[in-house]
Amino acid sequence: MSIENGTRTAIVTGGSRGIGRAIVQRLAAQGYAIVVGYAGNADEAAAAVKEATAAGAEAFAYQADVADETAVAAMFAEAESRFGGVDAVVNSAGRMFLAPVAELDLDELDALHRTNIRGTFVVAREAARRLRPGGSITLFSTSVVGTYFPTYGAYAASKGAVEALTMVLAREMRGRDVNVNTVAPGPTATDLFLDGKSEELIAQLAQANPLERLGEPRDIAEVAAFLASPAGHWVNGQVVRANGGMV
């Protein structure tokens, strides 16, 4: 199966849960063949595949640590073997750890940066080597890079690196007909975001934007799916802050 017969293929890392899973569902509805990349939860990955196939897509799950270049290369190779090539890569895999800078556990910092920085570079590097013309690379940051909330220092720093990479990679893809963008969500109702937060804090964050609610995974999936689609191909080298108007 290949782009010549009208079918596009997407790899979505972090595709078993949260925003990544919503992106899998959205791209499946758009007719993509899907690779659900996941780190460890095989049951959730299988459920994401089941949802994609119920929408009419061909899909399979592949376990790969995004920071492991051998595993990521094997995931891309498997996608090419099954579907003929890769057209869209959405790297939504990520790790969050919150602490004041003065109290930060450096082991947690290393683990966070391994996934969010090294993992992004590994996936982006493989995508840059393999994507077919007309393809798309969509990375993930966070609106906290601009809101500067306390305790988010390590997480925001890791995502700042992703934003710095975005235009550089877009320019390096000159002549390849591949666009590169980053989505930077605001507070979004996922397990990753909600974990450890009080009801009071969640309510406060929901009121921080003019639309006065938390984002939903489907809100972010719509943005990512647009950027990955032919309709969004003219958008290139951009960081899109999908956050309801949060300053």
Q: Kindly name the residue from 38, 62, 152, 155 that is annotated as catalytic.
A: 155
Burial bucket for residue 129 (CB in 10 Å: 0-12, 13-18, 19+)? exposed
What does residue 180 show for φ and ψ, rounded to 5 degrees? -135, 125
Distance, in Å, from the CA atom of 129 to the CA atom of 192, rounded to the nearest integer, reads 31
Q: Retrieve residue 180's tokens.
A: 């590169």
Distance, in Å, from the CA atom of 91 to the CA atom of 32, rounded to the nearest integer, reads 16
For the question of residue 62 being annotated catalytic, the response is no
The H-or-E segment that residue 22 falls in is helix 18-29
Q: Retrieve residue 215's tokens.
A: 């984002």
Catalytic amino acids?
Answer: 155
